[in-house]
Structure formats: C-alpha cells, structure tokens
Amino acid sequence: MRVQVLYSGGQDSSLSAVLLEPFFDVELVTCTFGSENWRQAQAAAAAIGLPFWTLTLTREIMDGCIDLILKYGYPRYGINYVHRMALEALAAGGTKYVADGTRRDDHSPMLTPSEVRSLEGRRGISYIRPLAGYGRKAIDALVRERFEIVEGPAIEKADYEAEIRSSIIDRYGERTVERLFPEGHAQSRVMRRLQK
C-alpha cells in the first residue's frame, strides 16, 4: 500500500513518515509555489532514505491563502487553506493514502472533522495523521531516538510559510509581514537518520 506524506524536512513530517514505513510504501512529497526551498526537504528525504517528489501548487492557491491571512489578520486560516489544497492535490494524483505530520496538540495546519470527511468521501482516499495520537513528550523522545536534527528560529525548511511570507513582502512590504506573522517559533530539520 502506497502512502504519500506531505513533507517539509522537519522533525514532525519525518517522524510521521518513519512511523508509516513498516506498514506502507512511503513517498515524501513537498509542495511548493515555484521557489527552490524544496531542496532542504530533498536533502532531509535523502538522509532518511525515502523517495521524494515535489508538487507545484497553483498561483490561485497562493492568492487565496494571502487573502485569508489579510482578512483575519493572522496566518492560521490561510495556512490551513494551503495545507488542505496540498492534500487535495495529492489525492487528485491517484494515491489512495495521503498523510501529514500534524500532531495531537497542533492548531494549524489542521483540517476540521468535516473537511476530513469531505476529502476522504469525494476523493475515495484515506487521510492518515500518524502523530495525531502523540503528545509533545512522546514525539520528542521518538525523534531523539531516530534522527539527528538541527533546530532554531532561522532553520530553513520547506513548509510553504517562507514562500507565503516572501510573497506578502513583495506585494505589501516587510512591515505587513511583521504585523501578520507572530514571532517565528523554532524550526527543525532532519540531518541524519539514526539506526535502531
């Protein structure tokens, strides 16, 4: 059974892929709007040793996301929208199982239960969230066992937020981004897989 995992190169989507690996043929897919920041995810995918693809999302999705961020004044609903469109794009590609690295305690990106039912029903697919039943402590323990990571606010990974921010800067300037996006939380990127 083949599963495609939305992949950023960070610890959560990497752990999600590794949890699926004994049970599925796992492929990692990074969505972009055309920039080159998928190369970070590609390097992490190579470190993990799983097949890697990129999928370019349309300009309309970027525009819809930015509209939502401006409308609400914070990124949550715009990011949720891109995430949902990315899962829709994977599902449209014909895979029966799509997955991501969202955690039990995440708020965004996150689909609502009715969005999940709609995605699965319309597309005839199963959406899997391997980390949905794990809290932060258990995830951190598994990550320490399985990966060598780098962490910090300035770590680049491929989570489309960077592309959205730079597009907002292009259109509305630096100060608009500073107003809309809260302080950057720590990012992580997988550098090496530890053998168990």
For its own copies, the binding residues (CB under 8 A) are 1, 19, 22-23, 97, 99, 104, 116, 120, 126-135, 137-138, 141-142, 145
Dihedral sign computed on CA atoms, order 62, 68, 74, 77: negative
Tokens 């995440």 correspond to: 106
CB 187 within 8 A of CB 155: yes
100 vs 161 by CB, closer to its own copies: 100
142 vs 162 by CB, closer to its own copies: 142
73 vs 133 by CB, closer to its own copies: 133
69 vs 90 by CB, closer to its own copies: 90
Give the residues across from 126 on adjacent strands: 97
Select from 157, 159, 147 the least CA-distant residue to 188. Answer: 157
C-alpha 117/C-alpha 24 separation (Å) is 22
Residue 106 DSSP class: -
The encoded tokens of residue 113 equal: 């239960």
Give the residues across from 190 on adjacent strands: 149
Q: How far is the CB of 155 from its own copies (least distance, A)?
A: 25
138 vs 150 by CB, closer to its own copies: 138
Angle at Cα 117 formed by Cα 62 and Cα 76, nearest 5°?
35
Q: How far is the CB of 138 from its own copies (least distance, A)?
A: 4
Q: How far is the CB of 84 from its own copies (least distance, A)?
A: 16
Q: How far is the CB of 98 from its own copies (least distance, A)?
A: 10
Element containing residue 177 per DSSP (H, E): helix 174-180
Q: How far is the CB of 23 from its own copies (least distance, A)?
A: 6
Q: How far is the CB of 22 from its own copies (least distance, A)?
A: 5
76 vs 120 by CB, closer to its own copies: 120
